[in-house]
Chains A and B, each alone.
Chain A
Amino acid sequence: MSKLRFSKRDTKDFSLKEWMDGTDDPMITGDIEMKPQRVHKDDFQTVMKHMRDYEKVERHLYDSDKNMGVRIFNKLYKVSSVIFTILLIGVMLYVVSYLPPVGNASNPDNNIVAQRYIENGLQETGAVNIVSGMILTYRAFDTFGETNVLFIATCCVMIMLMLDEKTLKEQEEQVQNTKYAPMNDPILRFAARILCPVIFIFGIYIILNGHISPGGGFSGGAILGAGMCLYANAMGFTRTAKWFNENVYKVAKITALCMYGLIGSYFYITGANGIENHIPLGIPGHILSSGIILPINIAVGIEVACTMYAFYALFRRGGL
Chain B
Amino acid sequence: MGILDYIRYFFAILLISSGLILFIIEIYGVFRFSFVLNRMHAAAIGDTLALSLCLGGLMLITGFSYTTAKFLLVVFFLWISSPAASHLIAKFEVTTNENVTKHLRKEEIGK
Which residues of A are interface residues toward B (Cβ below 8 A)? Answer: 180, 182, 185, 187-188, 190-191, 194-195, 198
Report the 10 A-B pairs with minimum CB-CB distance, sorted nearest first. A191-B84, A180-B95, A187-B87, A191-B80, A188-B84, A187-B84, A194-B80, A195-B80, A195-B81, A188-B88
List residues of chain A with CB within 8 A of the CB of B80.
191, 194-195
Q: Nearest Cβ distance between residue A174 and chain B, in whole angstroms?
A: 16
Residue of A nearest to B82 (CB): A191
Which residues of B are interface residues toward A (Cβ below 8 A)? Answer: 77, 80-81, 83-84, 87-88, 91, 95
Contact partner, A188, options B77, B87, B95, Cβ 8 Å: B87
B77 touches A198 (CB 8 A): yes
List residues of chain B with CB within 8 A of the CB of A194.
80
C-alpha gap A191/B88 in the complex (Å): 12
Residue of B nearest to A180 (CB): B95
List residues of chain A with CB within 8 A of the CB of B95.
180
List residues of chain A with CB within 8 A of the CB of B83.
187, 191
List residues of chain A with CB within 8 A of the CB of B88.
182, 185, 187-188
Contact partner, B91, options A180, A190, A195, A198, Cβ 8 Å: A180
Q: Nearest Cβ distance between residue A145 and chain B, in whole angstroms?
A: 35
Q: Nearest Cβ distance between residue B55 and chain A, in whole angstroms?
A: 17
C-alpha gap A195/B80 in the complex (Å): 8
C-alpha gap A284/B50 in the complex (Å): 41
Residue of A nearest to B110 (CB): A179
C-alpha gap A182/B95 in the complex (Å): 12
C-alpha gap A198/B80 in the complex (Å): 12
C-alpha gap A187/B109 in the complex (Å): 15
C-alpha gap A190/B87 in the complex (Å): 12
Residue of A nearest to B84 (CB): A191
List residues of chain B with CB within 8 A of the CB of A198.
77
